[in-house]
Amino acid sequence: MDRAAPNQDQRIPLPWHRHVPLPGEKRTGGTDPGAELQVTLILRRRHQLPDLHSAPGDPSPRQRQPLSPGEFARKHGARKDDIARVSRFARRHRLDLLEVAAHRRAVVLGGKAAAMEHAFGVRLLEVEHPRGKYRAAAGRLTVPRELAEIVQAVLGLNTRPCATRPRVHYPNPIKPFWTVPEMARAYGFPANFSAAKQRIGLIELGGGYREQDLQKFFSSLHRPMPAIHFVSVDGVRNSPAPPHQMRQFFDVLDGKRKLSEVSADVLQAAQSTMEVTMDIELAAALAPGAEIVVYMASNSEQGIYNAVSRAISAKEELPCALSISWGEPETQLSRAYLKSLDELLRDAAMLGVAVCVSSGDQGAMNGSSGGKPGVNFPASSPHVLSCGGTMVHASPGNGVRESAWNCDLHGIRGATGGGVSQRFPVPRWQKKHGVPLAPNGRKGRGVPDVAGPADPRRGCQIIAGGRCCPAAGTSAVAPLWAALLACLNATLGTRCGYITPLLYELSGNGARILRKITRGNNGFYHAGPGWNACTGLGSPKVESLVEALRVPSRGVSS
Give the catalytic positions in this structure: 275, 279, 475
Helix axes 477-492, 542-550, angle to 10 degrees: 40
Distances (CA, A) of 480 to 3, 22, 117, 450: 50, 31, 44, 11
The contacts of residue 355 (CB under 8 Å, 6+ apart) are 321, 322, 324, 345, 348, 349, 378, 383, 384, 385
- DSSP H or E stretch at residue 196: none
Residue 484 and residue 377: Cα distance in Å, rounded? 22
Between helices 335-350 and 69-76, what is the axis angle to 10°? Answer: 130
Residues contacting residue 443 through CB under 8 Å, at least 6 positions apart = 425, 426, 435, 437
Q: Burial level of 172, CB count in 10 A (0-12/13-18/19+)?
A: exposed
Biggest alpha carbon–alpha carbon distance for the chain? 72
Q: Which residues contact 219 (CB under 8 A, 6 or more apart)?
A: none
Q: Which helix (H) or strand (E) holds 245?
A: helix 243-253
* DSSP H or E segment with residue 331: none
Per residue, the 3-state secondary structure of 75-137, as one string, reads HHCCCHHHHHHHHHHHHHCCCEEEEEEHHHCEEEEEEEHHHHHHHHCCEEEEEEECCEEEEEE
Orientation angle between helical segments 477-492 and 264-286, nearest 10 degrees: 20
- Using an 8 Å Cβ cutoff, are 466 and 212 in contact? yes
438: Cβ contacts below 8 Å, ≥ 6 apart = 419, 420, 421, 422, 444
Query: Are 158 and 19 within 8 A, CB to CB?
Result: yes
Helices 301-311 & 335-350 angle (0-180, nearest 10):
10
The β-bridge partners of 346 are: none
